Chain A
Amino acid sequence: MSEPLFAGVDAGSSATKCVLVDAAGRCLGHGIAPSGFDYAIAADQALNRALDAAGAKRDRIERCVSTGYGRERVEQATRRVTEITCHARGAFEWYPQARTIVDIGGQDTKVIRLNAHGHTADYRMNAKCAAGTGTFLESIAVRLALPLSEIDGLAMRSTGRLVMNSYCTVFTSTEVLERIKEGQPHEEIAMGLFRAIASRVAEMMSARDGAVAATGGVVTHCRAMVKALEEVLGVGVLLPPLPQHAGAFGAALLAMKPDDAEPAPRSLSLEVIRPC
């Protein structure tokens, strides 16, 4: 009988990722598919790709944890866990020294504080506006008619200190036009956008001690994002082997454990202020 596998599926706003681990928590395969209109289909595709990469059959999967925006739609899931817990779990497995996880996704940005056991001590998500997320970059890229990879390439050549406003995506688009009009070099404008996101991250950090690890699609595809984070936060940023799959990896690790037994109930004091 072949060894059981544990799957994690992260149904994110733009991409659905899957990671398969064995009983020792080793990553055996991973896959990705565009989320598109239907998370169920995307999850299936990502899972098949991960299975292909692992050279395994679906019936080896013992448990599956889904996470991400579309976690409720992942039919294979035996349990659903938020992306906050999953990213924390995945990143901590790679970097037990990390105390802050910065996840910059398509739709939201999260900053998660971990304690020494890897448990979430505190977390924050960006406010409602897309500013500070992958969507922010994508919308500006469309505005500039440049692929994101080119914006990243430009930004990596920057030597200046320009920072763009990050309060609102629309305001930033206007600011980009103003900077173009002023004749600012394109590489400075491009880097300014990454710095804008990094400043939003800095605002969300409740503490600055301990190592910082970055996850999510933006740091996977844009080296300039890591550079901007390092610059604005003033620390080196750890980039895991599969930053975009950190949530799925964490979900797969959580799938290794059977559903949590409930902690022992605490004392049931029927204490009431007033005698009834």
Chain B
Amino acid sequence: MPEAAVKRVEIKSAERLRALMRDYFLDLDAAAASDERRVAWCTSVGPCEILSAFGFATYFPENHGALLGARRLSHELIPRAAGIGYCPESCSYMNSDIGCALSGRSPLRDVYGIEGPPKPDLLVYSTNQCREVQDWFEFFGRREGVPSLGIRPPRHLGEVTPEHVALVRRELVDLIGQIEGRFGLVLDSDRLEEAVRLSSRASALWGEVLATARARPAPLTFWDGAVHMAPVVLMRGSRAAIDYYETLLSEMCQRVTSGAGAVPRERWRIYWEGMPIWPRLRELSEKFQSLRASVVASTYCNSWAFAPYAGGDPLEWMARTSIEIFINRDEVTKQAFLVDMVRRFEIDGVIFHNARTCPNNTNSRFGMPQRLREGLELPVLVIDGDLSDLRFFSTAQTMTNLEAFVEQLEGGAR
């Protein structure tokens, strides 16, 4: 067995990612401080290309929510939000972020040396992922005295029809009109097309990076993906994201060629359905590694791998993309996607994360695990937890569950 297959080799691009993230946050901070530039906040699968085309520096509060989770600050912050009436069982990103604003101290200071999230001039959401983002943004709209605008696409779609796309496109046109009216701007259609092209390219490259995990051993896991997806979320529509993913893709291809697996001596290939458990990302990654189980694919990381833009009307691409995403589909479409992923990545077992404060990114509540187990004759496990709030997570119980899952796989392999 080659040396690379038995020892974990760290991903070299991580260094570059850190620099890229620092530049991104410093630029946001500079934009917020400047009189000439404007800052917009956007949801993670929202219409950020329009904001780029208008020249807004774009910030994504969900990323801050994940950072608060990863830094294990949610338990201090959620009660602050609960104190002003936000249910502690609602989205823990939202509650942590609101709590953070109320506490006046963000970990962005320690990580990037900036005071906190950049002060917004505009907030733009899309409820294609959930309604929580609308309430979250409206909190900040009231607090900062800035407009909170949004689109509300049709939800939980089976087939995406031309009528659905046309409806969302009209919402986007309306949104553009509102931004133009409020800020005295005119959208440059060439800039919009350029932003869409860049966005689509970054997204396609990201999809290719994830697809390298079809190799045995997989060169990266879900745990790596949860970190390396930052540019496709935060910098979609920029050249920087494309450059980054070109580098990362070439590194992943080299790893495939040299047989360097993200999990040394990979034995089991797992699919992760649902959100990461940010405060326990490292422990979980180590646990899977010790079990020689590689989480080679996930719904979450694939959520930013969009269908490519092949020219034509950029708004139509945006409209279609925003409603075609997994989170916005019905159970039948979701199940077909999962079955396809299981086959393409040669998955041995599927783990569903029941994130207690995000029903939107949780797919274990309507019988899907049972249907997959029976349909694919694969072991399927549901674990309870949350994206940020550790009150919903038991480390000991989860670790036992994961070990038992691998024992179950071993039982099947005997």
Interface assignment of B188: CB less than 8 Å from any CB of chain A: no
Main secondary structure of the interface of B (DSSP, over half): helix
Question: Which parts of B395-414 form the interface with A (CB within 8 Å)?
Answer: 396-397, 400-401, 403-404, 407-408, 410-414
Interface assignment of B254: CB less than 8 Å from any CB of chain A: yes
Interface assignment of B320: CB less than 8 Å from any CB of chain A: no
Interface stretch of the complex, out of B81-89, B163-171, B209-217, B329-337: B209-217
- The distance from the CB of B239 to the nearest CB of chain A, in whole angstroms, is 21
A91-134 to B contact mask, C-beta < 8 Å, 1/0: 00000000000000000100000000001111111011000000
Interface assignment of B257: CB less than 8 Å from any CB of chain A: yes
Q: Which residue of A lies closest to B210 (CB)?
A: A273
Asked if B392 and A128 sit within 8 Å, CB to CB, the answer is yes
Interface assignment of B71: CB less than 8 Å from any CB of chain A: no
A238-276 to B contact mask, C-beta < 8 Å, 1/0: 000000000000000000000010110000111111101
| A-chain residues with CB within 8 Å of residue B400 when the two chains form the complex | 69, 82-84, 125
Interface assignment of B119: CB less than 8 Å from any CB of chain A: no
Asked if A263 and B414 sit within 8 Å, CB to CB, the answer is yes
| A-chain residues with CB within 8 Å of residue B414 when the two chains form the complex | 119, 260, 263
From B211, B216, B397, B404, contact of A128 by CB (8 A): B397
Asked if A120 and B370 sit within 8 Å, CB to CB, the answer is no
From A119, A123, A274, contact of B211 by CB (8 A): A274
Asked if B396 and A127 sit within 8 Å, CB to CB, the answer is no
Give A85 to B379 CA distance when docked, in angstroms: 14
Knowing A125-B401, A128-B397 are in contact, say whether A85-B407 is a contact too (CB < 8 A).
yes
Q: Which residue of B lies closest to A269 (CB)?
A: B216
Knowing A270-B215, A274-B212 are in contact, say whether A119-B408 is a contact too (CB < 8 A).
yes
- The distance from the CB of B12 to the nearest CB of chain A, in whole angstroms, is 16
Question: Which residue, B253, B370, B407, has most C-beta atoms of chain A within 10 A?
Answer: B407
| A-chain residues with CB within 8 Å of residue B382 when the two chains form the complex | 124
Interface assignment of A154: CB less than 8 Å from any CB of chain B: no
Asked if B214 and A271 sit within 8 Å, CB to CB, the answer is yes
Give A272 to B212 CA distance when docked, in angstroms: 6
Interface assignment of B208: CB less than 8 Å from any CB of chain A: yes
Q: Give the total of B residues in contact with A, Cβ under 8 Å.
A: 37
Asked if B208 and A274 sit within 8 Å, CB to CB, the answer is yes
Asked if A119 and B212 sit within 8 Å, CB to CB, the answer is no
Interface assignment of A206: CB less than 8 Å from any CB of chain B: yes
Interface assignment of A81: CB less than 8 Å from any CB of chain B: yes
Asked if B215 and A85 sit within 8 Å, CB to CB, the answer is no
| B-chain residues with CB within 8 Å of residue A83 when the two chains form the complex | 400, 404
| B-chain residues with CB within 8 Å of residue A82 when the two chains form the complex | 400, 403-404, 407
| B-chain residues with CB within 8 Å of residue A263 when the two chains form the complex | 410, 413-414
Asked if B397 and A125 sit within 8 Å, CB to CB, the answer is yes
Asked if B256 and A270 sit within 8 Å, CB to CB, the answer is yes
Asked if B404 and A123 sit within 8 Å, CB to CB, the answer is yes
Give A81 to B291 CA distance when docked, in angstroms: 12
Asked if B384 and A120 sit within 8 Å, CB to CB, the answer is no
Asked if A276 and B404 sit within 8 Å, CB to CB, the answer is no
Q: Which residue of B lies closest to A268 (CB)?
A: B216
| B-chain residues with CB within 8 Å of residue A272 when the two chains form the complex | 211-212, 214-215, 253, 256
Q: Which residue of A lies closest to B373 (CB)?
A: A122
- The distance from the CB of A133 to the nearest CB of chain B, in whole angstroms, is 11
B249-274 to A contact mask, C-beta < 8 Å, 1/0: 11001101101000000010000000
| A-chain residues with CB within 8 Å of residue B211 when the two chains form the complex | 272-274
Give A83 to B396 CA distance when docked, in angstroms: 12
Question: Which residue, B208, B216, B254, B411, has most C-beta atoms of chain A within 10 A?
Answer: B411
Give A274 to B396 CA distance when docked, in angstroms: 40
Asked if B411 and A120 sit within 8 Å, CB to CB, the answer is yes
Q: Which residue of A lies closest to B215 (CB)?
A: A272
Asked if B404 and A270 sit within 8 Å, CB to CB, the answer is no
Q: Which residue of A lies closest to B397 (CB)?
A: A125
Asked if B215 and A84 sit within 8 Å, CB to CB, the answer is no
Q: Which residue of B lies closest to A69 (CB)?
A: B396
- The distance from the CB of B301 to the nearest CB of chain A, in whole angstroms, is 15
Asked if B401 and A276 sit within 8 Å, CB to CB, the answer is no
Give A125 to B370 CA distance when docked, in angstroms: 16
| B-chain residues with CB within 8 Å of residue A69 when the two chains form the complex | 396, 400
Asked if B253 and A276 sit within 8 Å, CB to CB, the answer is yes
Give A242 to B340 CA distance when docked, in angstroms: 46
- The distance from the CB of A129 to the nearest CB of chain B, in whole angstroms, is 10
Asked if B397 and A120 sit within 8 Å, CB to CB, the answer is no
Question: Which parts of B223-266 form the interface with A (CB within 8 Å)?
Answer: 249-250, 253-254, 256-257, 259
Q: Which residue of B lies closest to A127 (CB)?
A: B384
Knowing A125-B400, A128-B384, A206-B370 are in contact, say whether A273-B407 is a contact too (CB < 8 A).
no
Question: Which parts of A53-90 form the interface with B (CB within 8 Å)?
Answer: 69, 81-85
Asked if A120 and B407 sit within 8 Å, CB to CB, the answer is yes
A82-B407, A123-B404 given. 10 additional CB < 8 A pairs? A81-B407, A82-B403, A84-B400, A85-B407, A108-B397, A121-B408, A127-B384, A128-B397, A272-B253, A273-B214
A residues whose Cβ falls under 8 Å from a Cβ of B: 69, 81-85, 108, 119-125, 127-128, 206, 260, 262-263, 268-274, 276
- 7 chain-A/chain-B pairs, Cβ below 8 angstroms: A83-B404, A119-B412, A121-B379, A122-B373, A127-B384, A272-B256, A274-B208
What 4 A-B pairs come out closest when comparing CB atoms? A276-B253, A84-B404, A119-B411, A273-B211
